[in-house]
Amino acid sequence: MDLKDIVSKNIIYLRTNRKMTQLELGEALSYSDKAVSKWERGEAVPDAYVLKKLSALFNVSVDYLLNEHDEKEAKAVEPYSFNRRSVSLVSFFGIWTLAIAIFAVLGLLADSRQWLVFVYAMPVSLVNMIVMTAIWGKARINMYFISLLVWSVLAAIYLTFLQYNWWMLFLIGIPAQIVVVLSFRIKNNSE
């Protein structure tokens, strides 16, 4: 078997073992699904940079990607032992559980602005989701989370200083939103 076929077989195995689509793998590597498809069909071999990224993503050595493996060796590669969505949801609801606890404590202390806890829980939750999606390669979704983060931070500042009527603060959100959208339209030219 030649190198293209070996690498192809290993990428297919690792990707499907991780239950990723070609599009998801491409996004995780900042490449298109077409590039991933070429590698998996054995029409091309990823360059050293991509092999290094693949090895980090799948927690294997570059050597593993370049060599043949029998079934026993291939199955020794440990897949994710947890559900990504479950981990994300647990961390998200953990943040909101903490916010409710703080809200309750502030209520006992008779703080009239205790409701702001929920206002600030939103940006914290969004930062958490941005980190989770960045780790697991769903970069396209991050555009929406970052957009929501920008607007929720502006809303939190506005609601904190409500007595000052800082409505013009939201004007900052317009160019910030444009920057977020444009930054996610930048393509990796190395495909």
DSSP of 117-168:
HHHHHHHHHHHHHHHHHHHTT-HHHHHHHHHHHHHHHHHHHHHHTGGG--GG
Q: 91 and 14 share a domain?
A: no
Residue 92 belongs to a domain: yes
Query: What does the pLDDT read at residue 137?
Result: 60
Q: 112 and 179 share a domain?
A: yes
Query: What does the pLDDT read at residue 150?
Result: 95
pLDDT (tens digit per residue) in 125-163? 999 988 888 777 666 788 899 999 999 999 999 999 988
Query: What does the pLDDT read at residue 60?
Result: 87
Q: Is the CA virtual torsion 188, 17, 12, 77 positive or negative?
A: positive
- The whole domain housing 175 covers 84-185
Q: 45 and 128 share a domain?
A: no
Pull the structure tokens for residue 179.
């920057």
Query: What does the pLDDT read at residue 187?
Result: 60
Q: 88 and 71 share a domain?
A: no
Residue 190 belongs to a domain: no
Which one is predicted more confidently, 165 or 4?
Answer: 4
Mean pLDDT of 13-33: 89
Domain total for the chain? Answer: 2
pLDDT (tens digit per residue) in 47-106? 999 999 998 888 888 888 999 877 666 555 555 545 677 888 899 999 999 999 999 999
Q: 140 and 50 share a domain?
A: no
Query: What does the pLDDT read at residue 191?
Result: 40
Which one is predicted more confidently, 186 or 174?
Answer: 174
Residue 31 belongs to a domain: yes
